[in-house]
Each structure stands twice: as C-alpha cells, then as structure tokens.
Amino acid sequence: MSDLFDLTGRRAFVTGANTGIGQAIAVSLGQAGAQVICAGRSSMAETLAKLKEAGATGFECLADFADKDGAVQAFDGAAEAHGAIDILVNNAGIIRRADAVDFTEADWDEVMDVNLKSVFFLCQAFARGLLSRKAEGTVINIASMLSFQGGIRVASYTASKSGVAGLTKLLACEWAGKGINVNAIAPGYIATNNTEALRADRQRNDDILKRIPAGRWGEASDIGGAAVFLASKAARYIHGAVIPVDGGWLAR
C-alpha cells in the first residue's frame, strides 16, 4: 500500500513555497520522494533546509507570479535546468481587502494576475511539455473556502479563487483523457503567518473555532498530506475535484 503514495523519481514545481502552505506542500512532496523546485519571489533558504533535513532534494527558482510571462519563463527554465516536471502545484497567491464600493482596478488586476492568470498559463506550459513527450502528470491548484463562499471585502480574491475552481474543472475535462490529472485543494483556516492576526484576536479566533467541527485550526502539513495524495497513484482516477481540507467548515 505504501508504494501508492511513493513519489520517487518525480519532480515537482511548487509556487509560493517559501513559507506557510506552499512550504508544507514542498516538504511533504519531498518526504514522499519527489525532487522539489521551490518557486517564488523570496528566498527559499528555509524551505530548502527543511527539505535537506528530510533527506529530500530541493532547488530554488526565483520568480514573480504577477508577471505571467516571467512565471512561464521561470517554469521552462527550471525544467531545462533540473529535468522534466511531473507535478505542478499552483499555490502562490495574494489578497487585497476593501469594501466592494471602494475596490480599485489596481487591486482587482494585481490579485487576478497572480491568483488566476499565471495559474492558467503555468498549467498551459506544463501540459504542453507533457503532451510533447507523451508523459503523464499532475496539476494541483490551491483554491479556497471562497471558491465556495462569498467572503467580505475581498472581491478580487473571491473572484480569482472561484475562477481557480472553474479552471480546474475545465482543464480536467480537456486533459483527463490525455494522462493529466487536474485537481484542487481548498484549505480552510490554517495556522500560518497569514492568519496570525486572526488567531491573536481572541473574539475572532473563538468565533472561527466554533464553526470548525474539528475544533482546531488546520496545520500547513494537513494541506501537504492532501497534496501528496493528489500527486500519487492513489488519486489516478480523480479528475476535476476541488477537495476541502477544512476541518469540516463547509459541512456546518
């Protein structure tokens, strides 16, 4: 059974891998045997150290995912430098907050460029490479609870993550018969740097915990485990799914 989840010999490209969920996914994939290319704007030194500690191989790829051309060039360059990529994890994302009546075009465009536009064109570049060499591969997009819900004061983020869910399904429809699995993970409330302020606010923290049947915040490694599953042979017949990893948030 354990070999179902063995990723030895596979190579992953993980965006936004410097911290939080992206870092946990990178480390989890490495622990399962994959070589991991850690991509993002900031230094990947901490993630690479964690990979080394786990006995895994990692590489750094600095790229700005606000620029889809630069993102694709970084992906293509990583494949040329380190070898063909079998697993693409689109985790990099940003958020802007303002009332809908005050939301600016700049805040709309910046979020959509990173969270949706670059995601699509990275998927495209990845699939082109796989199809050209008649190989199989896996796309794992990172969606959100706001792929299912509306949220408040995050218009472009909600639109982008709803778009990620739809894009995941569309690409699955086009590529499932060609040996490419496309799925998404929708994290719930995860204890990372991005949620530190929420957890520090006692009232907000308590309100969130009351809604989570599991009774706790998720850990980034919970998302990492889901990513290993979706990248593995165990998920070979899963296509177009958006899997909530939320402690039961959506069930309540």
78 contacts 59 by C-beta, under 8 angstroms? yes
Taking the C-alpha atoms of residue 244 and residue 251, their distance in angstroms, rounded to an integer, is 10
160 contacts 111 by C-beta, under 8 angstroms? yes
The residue from 157, 189, 229, 249 that is catalytic is 157
Is 237 among the residues known to form the active site? no
Catalytic residues: 157
